[in-house]
Amino acid sequence: MHALTFDRFGAADVLHWSEQPDPVPGPGQVRVRMRSVGLNFADVYRRNGNYHLSGSAPWTLGYEGAGVVETPVPGDQLFPAGTRVGFADMAHANAELVVVDRDRLIPLPDDIDFDTAAAVLLQGLTAQYLVTDSFMVRPDDVAVVHAAAGGVGLLLVQMLKSLGAVVLGIASSEAKRDAVIAAGADVAVGYDAWVTAARELSGGHGADVVYDSVGRTLGDSLAAARIGGTVVFYGMAAGDPDPVDPRLLMDRSLTLTGGDLWNVLTGPESRRERAAALFEQLRCGALKAHIAARFALRDGARAHAFLESRAAIGKVLLTL
């Protein structure tokens, strides 16, 4: 088989399409022939050497995608050979063949194609827990979404609107802000005036919830929340946040909570039930996948460069 690999850290051009041994499934694992793979900034960070990588070079990136079961667990009736599947958390997805734990497989309904699955599973399941587990969104809640034109952001905006929230999306360019409005946000602003915009949208009280995936903005996110409001911190795309004095939380009765998808996907039933709910939202039109661009997996270096340009609106896919 072939895979997109790298043997040193650096810019996108360290990635190469190379021949590798076919992976061999272990107990409780299946081998999937990939059709579409999701690209994430975490892949960029690992390529740069900023995130942990296990094993030794050459390394293969990728943690999510969709394809067809080629080698099933012997005797398995749920995922026999030929079953269309997706997954959101299995390493080495940037390859023609990927070994996946059976318990991490998500069956794909006939009306969910490979690209849609690869575009929404990781980010969609993330947005889903953000509006249900991290903060229970209610009608008329004022919600602020950082990086609202990203893979999670556009899905999060749509989910918030489906729950009746009033949404302020923050995005760095006019084109991205247009996409945020098209996704349903009530207001979209840049990073120069968003705290003021949040107060104006909430009648001066502040937002009920602020979703912060940027990191360096955490102090402003706390300032933009109302007394008794909540800030959900679930990423640090721009770097680590400054330390938070707990007296600030006490003085304004604020809640600062973290969010991590792997703490809510507690088993195969949980992930499949949550994915089924996500697919139903797509089916009924409450949610739409936004695909920024498709690149052949062999051209992964170009895909990485595009993602790093910050021009992507939505999800970047690597296809086979």
CB 28 within 8 A of CB 121: no
- Per-residue tokens: 204: 């001066």
CATH superfamily, with its number, for domain 2-120+263-319: Medium-chain alcohol dehydrogenases, catalytic domain (3.90.180.10)
Give the residue with greater pLDDT, 240 vs 32.
32
Residue 254 makes CB contacts below 8 A (sequence gap 6+) with 222, 225, 227, 228, 229, 230, 231, 248
Nearest alpha-carbon partner for 60 in 78, 71, 47: 47
Span of 16-20, 42-46, 298-302 with lowest mean pLDDT: 42-46
Question: CA of 223: how far to CAs of 46, 88, 113, 177, in Å?
Answer: 32, 34, 42, 22
pLDDT band of 124, cuts 50, 70, 90: very high
CB 201 within 8 A of CB 145: no
Do 2-120+263-319 and 139-258 come out as alike in CATH topology?
no
Q: CATH 3.40.50.720: does it fit domain 139-258? A: yes
CB 108 within 8 A of CB 158: no
Question: CA of 30: how far to CAs of 25, 63, 71, 99, 102, in Å?
Answer: 6, 15, 6, 6, 6
CB 91 within 8 A of CB 18: no
Q: Is the peptide bond before 241 cis (omega within 30 degrees of 0)?
A: no
Q: Quick one: pLDDT at residue 260?
A: 85
Spatial distance between the Cα atoms of 86 and 276, rounded to a whole number of angstroms? 12
Per domain, the residue ranges of the chain are: 2-120+263-319, 139-258
- Per-residue tokens: 55: 């094993």
43-80 pLDDT, tens digit per residue, is 998 999 988 888 899 999 999 999 999 999 999 999 99
247-291 pLDDT, tens digit per residue, is 999 999 999 999 888 888 989 999 999 999 999 999 999 999 999
